[in-house]
A and B are shown apart, each in its own frame.
Chain A
Amino acid sequence: EAGVVQSPRYKIIEKKQPVAFWCNPISGHNTLYWYLQNLGQGPELLIRYENEEAVDDSQLPKDRFSAERLKGVDSTLKIQPAELGDSAVYLCASSLSTEYNEQFFGPGTRLTVL
């Protein structure tokens, strides 16, 4: 079974530029998550999707971050414009909608903003 796929794995941009991350969840997983992980910290939830619907985006900085999950499968997370403080690893995870909520993580995209 293929795992969660993310691209790119690494991205270096200058501040004020836009950037986008892509995620393909495990087939059949209707719940998709985007997390931000700073160095030495645990993942922090940015947004959670149930199929196409964003059910929890309370932690997403909506002035510069946006996300979409068209057709309830792949998802894209965008930052525009990027700031120096956005440098982090962006993780995507997916799960089946069960009470156990076991989440499978992708390898992440390491973003460096110069």
Chain B
Amino acid sequence: QQPVQSPQAVILREGEDAVINCSSSKALYSVHWYRQKHGEAPVFLMILLKGGEQKGHDKISASFNEKKQQSSLYLTASQLSYSGTYFCGTEKTSYGKLTFGQGTILTVHP
């Protein structure tokens, strides 16, 4: 079952923050986050395993709330290079099938 992402689109000015959410109705083993720029391949950002951990990567971090089966991606002090479509992918089991959400379009303006 496909995870649900919100919001569908976000428009920011450089330096502003954004949060993208990913929710599932099923118990999850992991949540993956990818960014895809137009006409390019999805690029892996980070993975969170069940256990409620939080991860960070430069000014991009994410959390996974196992009780709510929800993950959030936090982008702070956004840069023009952050523009693209962000996808979450969820696994129900280890080595399981990765099911992607419909994506969130992030646009950062100067």
* Interfacial residues, chain A to chain B (CB-CB below 8 A): 4, 40-45, 48, 56, 91, 97, 99-108
Contact = CB atoms under 8 A, between A and B. Distances in A.
Contact of B100 (A4, A43, A99): A43
Instruction: Please name the 7 residue pairs, one residue from A and one from B, whose CB atoms are nearest each other, closest first.
Output: A42-B100, A105-B41, A42-B87, A105-B42, A107-B41, A99-B94, A43-B100
A109 B41 CA distance: 10
A107 B97 CA distance: 21
Given A41-B103, A42-B102, A99-B49, A105 B43 contact: yes
21 contacts: A4-B41, A41-B102, A42-B2, A42-B87, A42-B89, A42-B102, A42-B103, A45-B97, A56-B97, A91-B42, A97-B95, A100-B30, A101-B32, A101-B91, A101-B98, A102-B47, A105-B34, A105-B42, A106-B41, A107-B40, A107-B41
A59 B91 CA distance: 16
B47 A100 contact: yes
Nearest to A3: B41
A103 B41 CA distance: 11
Contacts of B97: 45, 48, 56
Interface residues of B, number: 23
Contacts, number: 52
Interface string B66-110: 000000000000000000000101010011011111110000000
Given A99-B49, A108-B41, A40 B103 contact: yes
Contacts of B101: 42
B102 A103 contact: no
Contacts of B42: 43, 91, 105
A33 to B, nearest CB: 8
A11 to B, nearest CB: 15
Given A41-B102, A42-B101, A42-B102, A101 B30 contact: yes
Contacts of A56: 97
Nearest to B99: A45
Contacts of B103: 40-42
B88 to A, nearest CB: 8
